């Protein structure tokens, strides 16, 4: 089975600082990769996705992610964090009709 | 467009009781799925469907049944609830099968005592 690892359970950043959330995956072929965000008590919302092509993908809310095949990584970045970005972030990999999610990274933003 | 809707929002069951979690989507999506979310474990796929009349098992299917009689609806049934099924359940849909982005419902928080 495929697997997704998010090594950071919790991250705290100051508002205005840059952010990088790490994601590593285990998958034999070219993966379909996703980042989702979950606000407290809500469902998940898609931030961005990678299927093929340009390895730097842009998403909503100013987020971007870079696919690095050599490192099996798909890290999420944002140059300047806003207080409203406080949430839980999930990386996921698609394998045909099945999806595998990481355990999530909880982001706290300090004013 | 209501998107993906789930009912109920909250439910408390006693061990051994049965219930059905409802999920509906109005986007004519081909693919629908059920996940459970547990602390420290992320989301795990329970069952999925690639179209009306077609269902298959995900990563953690034991204790759950599904059916897909229409494109719109994908109910999840717990036949005999166990405390281990205490979780938050999310339904999701996707325009078509094959690892495309999913749209999630708001979730159902289930407690089994």
The region, left, alpha or beta by phi > 0 then psi within -120 to 50, assigned to residue A2 is beta
Interface A-B: count of C-beta contacts within 8 A: 64
Res A96 pLDDT > 90: no
At B9-34, the pLDDT tens digits run 999 999 999 999 999 999 999 999 99
Mean pLDDT of B69-74: 97
- The single-letter DSSP state of residue B73 is B
Evaluate if residue A16 carries a pLDDT over 90.
yes
Mutation target vs A (from B5, B27, B43, B60; most A CBs, 10 A cutoff): B43
Contact A97 B40 (CB under 8 A): no
Instruction: Say which DSSP state A96 is in.
Output: T
d(CA B85, CA B59): 14
Report whether B82 contacts B15 (CB < 8 A).
yes
Give the gap in angstroms from C-alpha A13 to the nearest C-alpha of chain B.
21
Test B42 with A98 for CB contact under 8 angstroms.
no
d(CA A39, CA A7): 20
Mean pLDDT, range A35-42, rounded to an integer: 92
pLDDT computed for residue B70 by the predictor: 97
Q: What are phi and psi of A71, to 5 degrees?
A: -105, 0
Whole-number average pLDDT of chain A = 94
Q: pLDDT band for B2, please (50, 70, 90 cuts).
A: confident
For residue B93, what pLDDT is reported? 96
Kindly identify which residue of chain B lies nearest to residue A94, measuring between CA atoms.
B99
Instruction: Identify all chain B residues contacting A2, using CB atoms and an 8 Å cutoff.
Output: none
Q: What is the per-residue pLDDT for B97?
A: 87
Q: Which pLDDT does position B45 carry in this prediction? A: 95
Looking at the complex, report in whole angstroms how far the Cα of residue A94 sits from the nearest Cα belonging to chain B: 5
Q: Measure A48 CA to nearest chain B CA, in Å.
A: 9
């Amino acid at each position: 089975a495929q697997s997704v690892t998010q090594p950071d359970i919790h991250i705290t950043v100051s508002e205005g600082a840059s952010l990088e959330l790490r994601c590593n995956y285990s998958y034999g072929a070219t993966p379909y990769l996703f980042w989702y965000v979950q606000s407290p008590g809500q469902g998940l919302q898609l931030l961005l996705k990678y299927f093929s092509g340009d390895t730097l993908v842009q998403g909503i809310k100013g987020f971007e992610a870079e696919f690095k095949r050599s490192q099996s990584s798909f890290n999420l970045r944002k140059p300047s964090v806003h207080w409203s970005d406080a949430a839980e972030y999930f990386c996921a990999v698609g394998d045909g009709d099945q999806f595998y999610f990481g355990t999530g990274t909880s982001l706290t933003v300090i004013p | 467009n209501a998107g993906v809707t789930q009912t109920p929002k909250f439910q408390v069951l006693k061990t051994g009781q049965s219930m059905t979690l409802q999920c509906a989507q109005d986007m004519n999506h081909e693919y629908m799925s059920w996940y459970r979310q547990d602390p420290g474990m992320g989301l795990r796929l329970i069952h999925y469907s690639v179209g009306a009349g077609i269902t298959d098992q995900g990563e953690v299917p034991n204790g759950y049944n599904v059916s897909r009689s229409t494109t719109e609806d994908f109910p999840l049934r717990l036949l005999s609830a166990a405390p281990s099924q205490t979780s938050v359940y999310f339904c999701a849909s996707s325009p078509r099968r094959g690892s495309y982005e999913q749209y999630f419902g708001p979730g159902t928080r289930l407690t089994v005592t």
